[in-house]
Amino acid sequence: MFEKVNPSHPDKIADRIAGAIVDLAYMRETDPKIAVEVLIGHGLCYIITETSAKLRSEDIGDAVRRISGDKDIRIQWVDTEQDEHLADNQSHGFRCGDNGIFKGMPVTSEQKVLTNIAKDIYKYYPTDGKYIMDYYDKYGSPKEERLIICQSNVPTGQLWKEWSGAWKINPLGEWTGGLDVDTGATNRKLGSDMGDSVTGGGLHGKDLSKADVSVNIYAFLKAQHTGKPVELLCAIGDDTVDGRPYSEIVEEAREYINSIGGFEKFAEWGLIR
């Protein structure tokens, strides 16, 4: 059983804004330290950043308006410097920025299929959408798949024509969705982004020194390569994880983020792409 949301879901809009702000920090510094929280909805966007980078309100405003699609949205931004003890942890090279437990799991066929369905629908209807697929009964035996499609701003009859194999489409009827009827918050849709790999720590709104980003990416990629579950832990200040220098794990995560176009693009679909 798996749920996928698309990039126009309010929670993903919050993730994308947080990712765009991290991208701005990397435009200012090679290795910035930053953590971002975003809450958005009903014409308001609240942002808190803890960062070493000198960010501009104009750039943040442009990102919020572009991603939310609301040129008149009100923005409240609070910016602070990172705690001196946390900053000192990274002063002599990359070290784990937090305590954490991390799990990487191979992506299932169910997760691949549903992600592709979500992407196909989003090509034609780039508005708030949420999708659920179930391949198994409560005893774990394979059965005919069940697909639920909830897609805003589209006539339900049109969806039935295009996705006649779905079990349910818009169960409560046609809906508008988006930021006018719901709020979004950073890292609230980790199940959609990580599938069975979800443990502690959020993927979005953080720089690469944070284990929540780099170790999660590393564990996920290792699970795809080996085809086996990966379980890791680290303590703040560790310079080695899984028998590898933490700096190497950071660089592997950097290569992955760069390959998909940055932190904002990462936030669109998460690790299960």
Lowest mean pLDDT across 10-19, 54-63, 144-153: 144-153
First and final C-alpha spacing in the chain: 17
DSSP H helical segments within 42-182, as ranges? Answer: 57-68, 84-89, 109-124, 156-162
CB 93 within 8 A of CB 254: no
Task: Please give the pLDDT value at position 94.
Answer: 83
Are residues 154 and 126 both part of a single domain? yes
Does a structural domain hold residue 53? yes
How far is C-alpha 42 from the chain's CA centre?
21
**pLDDT tier, 135 (very low <50, low <70, confident <90, very high otherwise):** confident
Domain that holds residue 235: 100-106+189-268
Lowest mean pLDDT across 37-41, 51-55, 260-264: 51-55
Q: Please list, in sequence order, all residues whose beta carbon lies within 8 angstroms of the beta carbon of residue 95, skipping any fewer than 6 positions away.
A: 89, 209, 236, 237, 238, 239, 246
Q: pLDDT tens, 139-161?
A: 556 566 789 999 999 999 999 99
Q: Please list, in sequence order, all residues whose beta carbon lies within 8 angstroms of the beta carbon of residue 161, skipping any fewer than 6 positions away.
A: none
Task: Please give the pLDDT value at position 82.
Answer: 77
pLDDT (mean) for 171-177 = 91
Q: Please list, in sequence order, all residues whose beta carbon lies within 8 angstroms of the beta carbon of residue 219, skipping any fewer than 6 positions away.
A: 102, 103, 104, 197, 230, 231, 232
Does a structural domain hold residue 4? no
Judge if pTM exceeds 0.85: yes
Out of 141, 161, 180, a domain closes at: 180
pLDDT (mean) for 66-74 = 97
67: domain CATH number is 3.30.300.10
Q: Which two tokens stand for residue 146?
A: 């069940």
Are residues 176 and 194 both part of a single domain? no
**pLDDT tier, 250 (very low <50, low <70, confident <90, very high otherwise):** very high
Does a structural domain hold residue 142? yes
| Number of compact structural domains in the chain | 3
Lowest mean pLDDT across 33-42, 68-77, 114-123, 163-172: 163-172
Q: What percent of the chain has pLDDT over 90?
A: 81
Task: Please give the pLDDT value at position 141.
Answer: 60
Task: Please give the pLDDT value at position 173.
Answer: 92
Are residues 245 and 216 both part of a single domain? yes
Does a structural domain hold residue 224? yes
Closest by alpha carbon to 196, among 78, 110, 68?
110
Task: Please give the pLDDT value at position 140.
Answer: 54
Does a structural domain hold residue 69? yes
Does a structural domain hold residue 24? yes
Q: Supply the mean pLDDT for the chain.
A: 92
Q: Which two tokens stand for residue 142?
A: 């394979």
Residue 122 has pLDDT above 90, yes or no: yes
Task: Please give the pLDDT value at position 95.
Answer: 79
Are residues 134 and 199 both part of a single domain? no
Are residues 18 and 48 both part of a single domain? yes
Residue 138 has pLDDT above 60, yes or no: no
Does a structural domain hold residue 2? no
DSSP letter assigned to residue 79: E
Task: Please give the pLDDT value at position 139.
Answer: 54
Task: Please give the pLDDT value at position 137.
Answer: 56
Does a structural domain hold residue 3? no
